[in-house]
Amino acid sequence: MSVLTGCAYYPEQWPKEYWPTDARIMREVGLSVVRLAEFAWDKMEPSPGVYDFDWLEEAIEILAAEGLKIVLCTPTPTPPPWLTHLHPDICRVNEQGIRISPGARRQPCGNVPAFQERAFNISSRIAERFGQHPAVIGWQIDNEFGVGQTTRCYCDHCRRRFHGWLQQKYGTLDALNQAWGTQFWGMTYRDWSYIPIPGITTEPQSPSMLLDYRRFSSNTWERFQRKQIDILRPLSPGRWITHNFMIRHWSLDYWKLAEDLDFVSYDNYPHGMSGPCETAMNLDLMHSFKQRPFWVMEQQPGPVNWHLYNPPVPEGQVRLWSHQAVAHGASAVVYFRFRAGRTGQEQYHRGLLKWDSSPDHTYYESQRVGQDVASLPNLTRPQAKVGIIYDYSDLWSIEIEPYHRDFSYYTLVNEIYAGFWKHNIAVDFLPRGADLTGYETVIVPAPILIHLGEVEKWRTWVEQGGRLIYTFRSYVRHASNTATDQPLPVGLGELIGARLRDYYSVPPESYTDWPDHRPGKHVQQIGGAKFQFAYKIWAEALEPTTAQPLLTYADGRLANQIAATINQVGSGEALYLGCWPENFADLLESLQLIPDASQSIKLGSLLGDDGSTWQVEMNHTSSPSNGLAGYDVRYTRIEG
Ligand code: GAL
């Protein structure tokens, strides 16, 4: 089977009498994988050091008897009530200094020794018991690190760990004071223990401390995950290990979290996003984190419970969401969840079965997905021709000091991505400093942190024919989030053949203060077929040295200044875009950087392991188009 389908199942939530019937239904509907146990710690260890895995073994045997393969989870997102009772300090402290109450999930702080000890212990126990079970094919560590704003904690354990982390990073207090520039507002630290963590203050805290705290907090969960992986590997040989990443999530550095995993998993809830384009972008990110097939470990099955409104999902939509994931590189789609819950916090969440055990939409749709893919070979995604750089430290630096209310790194990346998606041009995401071999065009959105090593490397790639497009806010700050003393963009002037004259935060039109101070509204092309387009949020005036000017500001205070440049370097070109266009697709088309051919049917391209090439056509609308009904999908063998 080219693509596996499965479901999340919670035997601990259902009477035992249900289990055999549920397992049979799963098989009949065509599922082959079941994910178990991520929230079942209290049933595995009902009191300290007392273990009960027999119920889980029974459930696994029943499922395995129907031919289902098991993905087991370490149950660490939900410490049992006895544990938080014994150690109340396990619960996180929020930025306001208030300790979070138990009673939901993900309440633990990743730096509390009592939690770590118990969490690693239960991970060992479950792995000892089931690590070599023939039905167990792999592991999910924990569940969705960071969900519900839980990446960062502000407790005393974290404060102490942060000090140790800083000591390791900077070595001496002098080095830290220097890197952070602590002489500003008289903050020179003369003892590690004096260093604050984020909290409620009169005015903002040091952007350098805030950026390091984001890195430290992400690293807390990288370490927590790595420790569990180290426990599982020897106890469960030959099984893969993954973790389920989330939509629109950026408090964790997913590049780093992905490093220790065999592959990335993703929880695909398109109703949390703005539409199929943003879903596609998140799917592409998931493939990119390891440049290999990923799993959808949770697929939205219909309406969820956690929106302001939870509209119905049209017929065919869940099937199409599943195929969209496949078209973007997923090798398994696991539906969340088998049964709609009848107790607890997610009762309104749909599943394959309704409360009364009758089939819901997803029952039929998951069945169709299984049938759709049954005759396909194993499919993988080819490398794209376009790359977009995506970096968490850049995102965090801008989040800490956006300098414009609406400047969001994620939105910028999303808008650039949309320019390519509109034209069915596949995109891979790449980390800062990546090897660009094989790409034709690479966009670097707002790389605010200076990275001189990558400039050298990328210059060689440009000389050999690559097209590198930098946007505004390039190479402004050191890694410690302090400004440079060099002309902007630092170290990039020669490659792009231009310098920055100045940068401007552009207020929205509705902003009535100081109207005469607006930088302007439009830019226009220099020479060629003249076009004008509006820009927003950010503008930079450029001074070309060896580059050719490409765009000039058309009005306002910046009229006639240069807004974009292009520099021929060897047989390639380096572009610099100084303003944020209203519409990236229009800009890319007008500058002839992409063909002018927007298509309503979305295409995916996949390679079969039998040498075949496949095209996936997807209709994300309710109206028929190109021989496809609304929300329909078609796989066509192109060659091979
Ligand atoms: C996910 C989570 C699941 C469930 C689901 C509801 O974020 O991993 O446990 O809560 O959301 O949509």
pLDDT one-digit tens code per residue, 301-320: 999 999 999 999 999 999 99
The confidence score (pLDDT) of residue 525 equals 86
Does 223 sit behind a cis peptide bond, omega within 30 degrees of 0 on the bond before it? no
If we measure between CA atoms, which residue out of 537, 531, 535 comes closest to residue 592?
531
Q: How far apart are CA 27 and CA 335, in angstroms?
A: 14
Q: How far apart are CA 369 and CA 5, in angstroms?
A: 8
Q: How many CB atoms lie within 10 A of CB 196?
A: 14
The 10s digit of each residue's pLDDT in 437-486 is 999 999 999 999 999 999 999 999 999 999 999 999 999 999 999 999 99
Q: How many CB atoms lie within 10 A of CB 148?
A: 11
Domain match, 460 and 573 both? yes
Ligand 1: which atom is nearest the Cα of residue 269?
Answer: 12
Residue 549: inside a domain: yes
Closest residue by Cα to atom 12, ligand 1, is 304
pLDDT at 527 over 80: no
The 10s digit of each residue's pLDDT in 397-406 is 999 999 999 9
Total domain count, the chain:
2
Encoding tokens for residue 205?
């805290």
Domain match, 524 and 624 both? no
* Count of CA atoms in the C-beta half-sphere (13 A) of 549: 18
pLDDT at 363 over 70: yes
Q: pTM above 0.85?
A: yes
Helices 113-130 and 207-235 sit at what angle, rounded to 10 degrees? 30
pLDDT band at 519 (very low <50, low <70, confident <90, very high): confident
Encoding tokens for residue 331?
């090798």
Encoding tokens for residue 42?
């209290």
* Count of CA atoms in the C-beta half-sphere (13 A) of 454: 19
Domain match, 548 and 630 both? no
* Count of CA atoms in the C-beta half-sphere (13 A) of 128: 10
Q: How far apart are CA 361 and CA 363, in angstroms?
A: 5
**Element (DSSP H or E) covering residue 544:** strand 532-544
Residue 402: inside a domain: yes
Domain match, 466 and 411 both? yes
Residue 50: inside a domain: no
Domain match, 480 and 618 both? no
Residues 265, 242 contacting (CB under 8 angstroms): yes
Q: For residue 128, give the 3-state DSSP assignment.
A: helix
Question: If you search the block for the tokens 């990288």, which residue do you land on?
Answer: 222
Residue 26: inside a domain: no
Cβ of 632 below 6 Å from ligand 1: no
Q: For residue 465, give the 3-state DSSP assignment.
A: coil
Cβ of 298 below 6 Å from ligand 1: yes
Domain match, 444 and 537 both? yes
Q: How many CB atoms lie within 10 A of CB 433?
A: 14
Ligand 1: which atom is nearest the Cα of residue 336?
Answer: 5
Q: How far apart are CA 456 and CA 463, in angstroms?
A: 11
Specify whether 399 is catalytic: no
* Count of CA atoms in the C-beta half-sphere (13 A) of 79: 28
The confidence score (pLDDT) of residue 426 equals 96
Under DSSP, the state recorded for 477 is B
**Best substitution site from 7, 145, 147 to test ligand 1's pocket, by max atoms within 8 Å of Cβ?**
147
Cβ of 603 below 6 Å from ligand 1: no
Q: What is the extent of the structural domain holding 616?
A: 605-639
**Best substitution site from 267, 269, 295, 300 to test ligand 1's pocket, by max atoms within 8 Å of Cβ?**
267
Domain match, 628 and 513 both? no
Q: Can you spell out the DSSP letters for 196-207?
A: --S---SS---H
Q: How far apart are CA 443 and CA 456, in angstroms?
A: 16
* Average pLDDT along the chain: 96
Specify whether 61 is catalytic: no
The confidence score (pLDDT) of residue 504 equals 95
Domain match, 442 and 498 both? yes
Residue 444: inside a domain: yes
Residue 568: inside a domain: yes
If we measure between CA atoms, which residue out of 105, 216, 97 comes closest to residue 152?
216
If we measure between CA atoms, which residue out of 430, 441, 381 comes closest to residue 604?
381
Domain match, 491 and 442 both? yes
pLDDT band at 407 (very low <50, low <70, confident <90, very high): very high
Question: If you search the block for the tokens 């999930």, which residue do you land on?
Answer: 105
Domain match, 635 and 611 both? yes
Residue 395: inside a domain: yes
Residue 447: give its domain's CATH number: 3.40.50.880
Domain match, 532 and 593 both? yes
Domain match, 486 and 613 both? no
If we measure between CA atoms, which residue out of 584, 587, 29 comes closest to residue 281?
584
The 10s digit of each residue's pLDDT in 143-154 is 999 999 999 999
Residue 111: inside a domain: no
